[in-house]
């Protein structure tokens, strides 16, 4: 997380399905599981349980929602929550397929209802999106007030949850396995040297 916010030059990456299969996926699969222990602690209730806004305990389609550290917890115009799914087999956007539509729709519907009930912010004031590349490889969804502006919502990083659902449901069930995805990457990111040498 510290490296993510350090000043560094940015590079534009166009990741084809082949590049993903040959470079990115092995990189993701090689990430030590210990790097996600803090996520598992949240899901297991052994840490940050006092910060959880909503919890759905279903093992397939459940999740927990808690405030992101970027939000002060008070100013609703800058509301920022993160949804962490309970499943441990979805690492990134690339793993999503039609079998995950119930999970994605459950997140959208329950989170929108919970945010309105808890904070009085309606669905028409929320932006739900997924990062690719994400900061950590356990599937999660960002929820922000539409008045909040941050780098994480820029093209080349954010994919709106509604669009993700639509792409899978109405274009192709394996859309994210077939699509070329472009994204911005910091030049100090450990993935960049692997991608830079892909020729």
Catalogue the active-site residues.
140
Which DSSP state fits 9? -
Q: Which residues contact 192 (CB under 8 A, 6 or more apart)?
A: 11, 13, 185, 186
Task: For 98, list phi and psi in degrees, rounded to 5.
Answer: -60, -30
Residue 45: which residues within 8 A CB-CB, separation 6 or more?
none
Contact 4, 186 (CB under 8 A): yes
Q: Scan for tokens 């941050």, then name that residue.
A: 150
């Amino acid at each position: 997380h510290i490296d993510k916010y350090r000043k560094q030059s940015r590079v534009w990456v166009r990741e084809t399905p082949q590049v993903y299969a040959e470079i990115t996926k092995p990189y993701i699969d090689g990430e030590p599981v210990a790097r996600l222990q803090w996520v598992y602690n949240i899901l297991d209730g052994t840490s940050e349980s006092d910060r959880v806004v909503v919890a759905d305990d279903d093992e397939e389609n459940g999740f927990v929602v808690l405030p992101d550290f970027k939000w002060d917890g008070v100013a609703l115009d800058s509301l920022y929550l993160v949804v962490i799914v309970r499943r441990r087999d979805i690492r990134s956007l690339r793993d999503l397929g039609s079998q995950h539509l119930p999970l994605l729709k459950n997140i959208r519907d329950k989170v929108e209802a919970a945010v309105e009930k808890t904070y009085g912010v309606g669905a028409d004031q929320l932006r739900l999106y997924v990062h690719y590349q994400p900061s950590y490889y356990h599937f999660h969804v960002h929820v922000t007030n539409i008045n909040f502006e941050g780098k994480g919502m820029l093209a080349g990083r954010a994919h709106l949850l509604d669009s993700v659902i639509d792409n899978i449901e109405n274009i192709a069930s394996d859309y994210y396995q077939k699509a070329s995805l472009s994204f911005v990457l910091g030049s100090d990111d450990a993935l960049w040297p692997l991608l830079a040498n892909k020729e």
